[in-house]
Amino acid sequence: MTAAVIGHLRFPPESMEALKPHLQRLILETRARDGCIAYDAAIDVFEPGRIRFSEVWPDIQSLEAHLVAPHIAPWRAAARSLGLIERGFTAYEIVSEKPV
Protein backbone atom coordinates (compact mmCIF):
# COMPACT_ATOMS: atom_id res chain seq x y z
CA MET A 1 0.00 0.00 0.00
CA THR A 2 1.37 3.42 -0.96
CA ALA A 3 2.39 5.72 1.88
CA ALA A 4 2.29 9.52 1.95
CA VAL A 5 4.00 11.73 4.50
CA ILE A 6 3.23 15.36 5.23
CA GLY A 7 5.37 17.25 7.70
CA HIS A 8 7.35 20.27 8.72
CA LEU A 9 10.49 21.35 10.52
CA ARG A 10 11.02 24.74 12.11
CA PHE A 11 14.37 26.48 12.59
CA PRO A 12 15.49 29.91 13.68
CA PRO A 13 15.02 32.07 10.56
CA GLU A 14 18.66 33.13 10.68
CA SER A 15 19.72 29.46 10.19
CA MET A 16 17.93 28.97 6.90
CA GLU A 17 20.74 30.03 4.59
CA ALA A 18 23.22 27.67 6.29
CA LEU A 19 20.63 24.88 6.22
CA LYS A 20 19.97 24.99 2.45
CA PRO A 21 22.98 22.91 1.29
CA HIS A 22 22.14 20.20 3.85
CA LEU A 23 18.50 20.21 2.74
CA GLN A 24 19.49 19.99 -0.92
CA ARG A 25 21.76 17.02 -0.18
CA LEU A 26 18.97 15.28 1.78
CA ILE A 27 16.51 15.71 -1.08
CA LEU A 28 18.93 14.63 -3.82
CA GLU A 29 20.16 11.57 -1.93
CA THR A 30 16.65 10.52 -0.94
CA ARG A 31 15.37 10.83 -4.49
CA ALA A 32 18.37 8.90 -5.84
CA ARG A 33 18.55 6.06 -3.34
CA ASP A 34 15.52 5.44 -1.25
CA GLY A 35 12.97 4.31 -3.83
CA CYS A 36 10.64 7.21 -3.23
CA ILE A 37 7.94 8.16 -5.69
CA ALA A 38 8.09 11.84 -4.67
CA TYR A 39 10.13 13.71 -2.05
CA ASP A 40 9.78 17.46 -1.86
CA ALA A 41 10.57 20.23 0.59
CA ALA A 42 9.71 23.92 0.43
CA ILE A 43 10.63 26.88 2.57
CA ASP A 44 7.41 28.45 3.78
CA VAL A 45 7.12 32.02 2.48
CA PHE A 46 4.68 33.02 5.26
CA GLU A 47 6.46 31.46 8.24
CA PRO A 48 10.18 32.26 8.27
CA GLY A 49 12.19 29.26 9.42
CA ARG A 50 9.58 26.62 8.52
CA ILE A 51 10.23 23.94 5.91
CA ARG A 52 7.29 21.87 4.67
CA PHE A 53 7.77 18.32 3.40
CA SER A 54 5.65 16.04 1.23
CA GLU A 55 6.66 12.49 0.45
CA VAL A 56 5.14 9.56 -1.41
CA TRP A 57 6.54 6.05 -0.94
CA PRO A 58 5.62 2.78 -2.67
CA ASP A 59 4.96 1.19 0.74
CA ILE A 60 5.55 1.59 4.46
CA GLN A 61 8.66 -0.61 4.29
CA SER A 62 10.31 1.84 1.86
CA LEU A 63 9.51 4.72 4.20
CA GLU A 64 10.93 2.82 7.17
CA ALA A 65 14.11 2.01 5.21
CA HIS A 66 14.47 5.69 4.31
CA LEU A 67 14.38 6.69 7.98
CA VAL A 68 17.52 4.63 8.68
CA ALA A 69 19.34 5.24 5.37
CA PRO A 70 22.99 6.36 5.69
CA HIS A 71 22.33 9.96 4.58
CA ILE A 72 19.67 10.57 7.27
CA ALA A 73 22.04 10.71 10.27
CA PRO A 74 24.18 13.55 8.79
CA TRP A 75 20.98 15.47 7.94
CA ARG A 76 19.65 15.08 11.48
CA ALA A 77 23.00 16.17 12.95
CA ALA A 78 23.04 19.27 10.73
CA ALA A 79 19.45 20.08 11.66
CA ARG A 80 20.24 19.85 15.39
CA SER A 81 23.39 21.94 15.01
CA LEU A 82 21.42 24.65 13.18
CA GLY A 83 18.86 24.93 15.96
CA LEU A 84 15.94 22.67 15.05
CA ILE A 85 13.00 23.99 17.09
CA GLU A 86 10.07 21.83 16.04
CA ARG A 87 9.41 18.67 14.09
CA GLY A 88 6.07 17.26 13.01
CA PHE A 89 5.41 14.49 10.48
CA THR A 90 2.41 12.27 9.83
CA ALA A 91 2.39 9.19 7.59
CA TYR A 92 -0.76 8.04 5.80
CA GLU A 93 -1.52 4.81 4.00
CA ILE A 94 -3.20 5.49 0.68
CA VAL A 95 -5.91 2.95 0.05
CA SER A 96 -7.24 4.42 -3.19
CA GLU A 97 -5.88 6.88 -5.69
CA LYS A 98 -8.19 9.09 -7.73
CA PRO A 99 -7.05 12.05 -9.81
CA VAL A 100 -8.67 15.31 -8.74
Is residue 41 classed as helix, strand or coil in its secondary structure?
strand
Q: What is the CATH number of the domain that holds 65?
A: 3.30.70.100
Q: Look at residue 7 in the predicted model and tell me its pLDDT.
A: 98
54 falls within a domain: yes
Q: Look at residue 84 in the predicted model and tell me its pLDDT.
A: 98
17 falls within a domain: yes
Domain that holds residue 40: 2-94
Average pLDDT over residues 36-50: 96
The rounded distance, in Å, linking the Cα atoms of 66 and 60 is: 10
Q: Look at residue 100 in the predicted model and tell me its pLDDT.
A: 76
The answer on pLDDT for 58 being more than 80 is yes
Tens digit of each residue's pLDDT (9 = 90 or more) over 60-85:
999 999 999 999 999 999 999 999 99
35 falls within a domain: yes
The rounded distance, in Å, linking the Cα atoms of 61 and 12 is: 33
Confidence of residue 96 (pLDDT cuts 50, 70, 90): confident
Q: How many domains does the chain have?
A: 1
Q: Look at residue 35 in the predicted model and tell me its pLDDT.
A: 86
57 falls within a domain: yes
99 falls within a domain: no
38 falls within a domain: yes
100 falls within a domain: no
